[in-house]
Structure formats: structure tokens, C-alpha cells
Amino acid sequence: MLSAKFEEADEQFQQLRDGIREYEFSISDEKAGSVLGEELNADSLKIYMDEAYAQRGKNSKKDYSRLISEMQDLNLSTIEDVDLLLQKTKAAFQEYERYWATKEPNIGSKFQPVGVLRISSELFRIAATKSEDRMYHGDNAANRVAHLVDI
């Protein structure tokens, strides 16, 4: 009887957590439009990600500088391109984060903005190349959710 109550409470907590994440994503969609037309560089990327994912914390300009070449490898040249990539990978990223939140609560409970973009770009690469041998964090979680990317 008591274990059933704990299980029910756990399910309700998971539903609440999922609802909060969905709400956070909907807020980020509304805020980040101020720099969409800007050329992709560390400054514009930091402004966009700080606005779009404010609830996830902030990363340094140096962190974003390291990401620029990865974004250029995907032929992204504007913030609007980055925004489109994040929209296309949104469902896959949410599932990826949900997976890590249950498997490793300290790792995947909430990725910082740079992590969101890095993981989303990897999910996009996997979906675009349909590569089964690419793995993220030494696990095939990314491969499991890549089919959710809207290519």
C-alpha cells in the first residue's frame, strides 16, 4: 500500500517536471527573437542563448566562441539558422534530457545553454547522416532520440 503511494507520487512528480520543462521551452521561444537576423558570432550567440535559455543559467563568451566552428560545420551563419536548428531538434533534445534526468539525475536534470546547443547540434548531425555509430557521452541515448529531429 505504501509503495503504491510512493510510486503514484513519483509519477506525479515526473509529470510536474515534464510540464515545467515544456513551459520553459515555450518561454524561450518567445524571448529570443531580438537577434535572429544577426550574423553568427560569439557575441550574438551569447545574447541569443542568454535570452532563449535564461532559466538554465549563463555561459561565458569564451564557451560560445568554442561553439562557433561547430555551428559553421553545420553551415549555420546566422542566429536565425541556430534558432531553426534548435526548433528542429526540440523534441529530440527534450527526450534526451528526460532520459539523462532518469538515468543520471545530476547530469541531465538541466543542461546549461551551451550544452543545449551542443547536444542539439549532435542530434541534428545524427539525424541528418542517419549514423548509428555516433554516440554522445559514451552512450547511445542520442541515437535513440535522433529520429525525433524534424529534418
* Cβ pair 30, 68 in contact under 8 A: no
State the CB neighbour count (10 A cutoff) for residue 147: 14
- The closest alpha carbon to 73, from 151, 129, 150, belongs to 129
Instruction: Give the chain's length.
Output: 151
Which pLDDT tens digit goes with each residue over 3-27?
A: 777 788 778 878 877 776 665 555 4
Q: How far apart are CA 40 and CA 134, in angstroms?
A: 26
- Count how many domains the chain has: 1
The yes-or-no verdict on residue 31 having pLDDT over 90 is: no
Which pLDDT tens digit goes with each residue over 75-116?
A: 999 999 999 999 999 999 999 888 888 877 666 567 899 999
Note down the domain range covering 22. 2-148
